[in-house]
Copies of this chain bind each other. A is one copy, B any other.
Amino acid sequence: MSISRFPVVDLVDLPEDLRARIEPIVERTGFVPNVFVGMGHRPNELRAFMDYHDALMDRDSGLTQAEREMIVVATSAANDCLYCVVAHGAILRIRTKDAEITDRIVANWRTAPVTDRQRAMLEVAVKMARTPEEVSGADLADLRELGFTDADIWDIGSVTALFALSNRIAHLADLQPNPEFFTLGR
């Protein structure tokens, strides 16, 4: 099974700035996540994707990093996206040190033992993922009542939106998760 339906590049053939950003990840995880070599034939797109990702996922947010990964896993599961479910499932296991909650979100996010606040967050995110036209002002008002700020709500919607993009790239390329991701954090 090849990594992608499209050209795959070697890390060494990526532009210097991208290599410099990816190498620390490789050192930390011990392997090159396939998303980088699968999108690397389009370095400008990969760079923009990484910039968007880091802007959202690493920012100082009212949502914890684990909560943002919950959104990624729940919406990617709703989109049946293997790469994102497996790779971000691994990240969520690492962030939560809880493999069971991750497996629950993959199978059915409604069964995860999360707070009411997190449940509402996931409900809006999954609706936004699958039928964005049905997300209404009332949904946002519900989130505000549970204490989410406008900045938090922007993060919920934007993480969902970024992985709406990412899931489609992965489906397009039939992008394969690295074998390591399946077991990481278990």
Chain A residues packing against B (C-beta within 8 Å): 1, 5-7, 42, 44-45, 47-49, 51-52, 55-56, 59, 77, 79-82, 85-86, 99-100, 103-104, 106-108, 110-111, 113, 128, 132-133, 135-137, 140, 150, 153-154, 157-158, 160-162, 164-169, 171-172, 174, 179, 182-183, 186
Contact = CB atoms under 8 A, between A and B. Distances in A.
A92 to B, nearest CB: 13
A80 B55 contact: no
Main secondary structure of the interface of A (DSSP, over half): helix
Most chain B beta carbons < 10 A, residue from A103, A106, A135, A182? A103
Given A55-B45, A137-B174, A168-B164, A132 B82 contact: no
Contacts of A51: 44, 47-48, 51
Contacts of A77: 107
Contact of A107 (B42, B86, B161): B86
Contacts of A128: 168, 171-172
Contacts of A183: 99, 186
Contacts of A133: 79-81, 108, 110, 171
A6 B153 CA distance: 10
A161 B103 CA distance: 25
B182 A100 contact: yes
Nearest to A170: B132
A98 B19 CA distance: 33
A111 B82 contact: yes
A132 B167 contact: yes
A140 B81 contact: no
